[in-house]
Amino acid sequence: MNLVFLGPPGSGKGTQAIRVAEKLNIVHLSTGDMLREAVKNGTELGKKAEVFMKMGELVPDKLIIGMIEDKVTSGDLSKGFILDGFPRTIPQAESLKQMFGNNNIALDKAVLLAVSDEEIIKRIKGRAEQEGRADDTEGVARNRLDVYRKQTEPIVDFYRKESILTEVRGEDTMDNVFNAIIETLGK
Ligand code: AMP
């Protein structure tokens, strides 16, 4: 099964993607994880990406698309996958469609974890208080939410038009959300 997971930062998307990939025995591919690894290793990509990541801004499409293209062409995705954190812009979604077309890969579903801004802000604040994080972190988190609504949310419509969008309510316990995702995938 070939899936894309969508949802605002703080929606629990990453955690659910890991659990669902494990359950379905498919690859979990997180561009955030790949970028953090690149930063840690001090690669050229990591150095370029770090500046944007620190501010909660998106890393330029060109860098990200190149990174994903390597995965698509290497055959790593042949047993099924969840893309977590990609695509995040319309140009990324369009490039992905083209890459998949060229490599005979079809997306089965785009799963959207829907969580309201109000709930996200509540979670960000709760986390900041719990962890005693700097205000700075809360500011970056809010910026990430803003970036999501402006730059990433348009791809929800992109996949709706492709008739592969499925929406799951993300304002529930981890287990209930997980079960709802599995159900919507017919698994
Ligand atoms: P994540 O762990 O998915 O929240 O990603 C952490 C950060 O990595 C984001 O705030 C972005 O700066 C960057 N990033 C991850 N995936 C992408 C992407 N598809 N396009 C642009 N930037 C990305």
Residue 35 CA to residue 59 CA, distance in Å, equals: 9
User: Ligand 1 centroid vs 87 CA: distance in angstroms?
Assistant: 9
pLDDT, tens digit, 9 for 90 and up, residues 68-121: 999 998 888 889 999 999 999 999 999 999 999 999 999 999 999 999 999 999
Its pTM stands at 0.94
Active site residue 97: no
Is-catalytic flag, 160? no
Residues in the chain: 187
What parts of the chain have a pLDDT lower than 50? none
- What is the DSSP code string of 37-77? HHHHHT-HHHHHHHHHHHHTPPPPHHHHHHHHHHHHHHTTT
Domains of the chain and any CATH numbers: 2-184 (3.40.50.300)
120, 142 in Cβ contact below 8 A?
Answer: no
pLDDT of residue 126: 84
For position 132, what pLDDT does the model report?
73
What's residue 133's pLDDT?
67
Residue 93 and residue 157: Cα distance in Å, rounded? 11
Query: Ligand 1: does its nearest atom lie under 6 Å from the Cβ of 85?
Result: yes
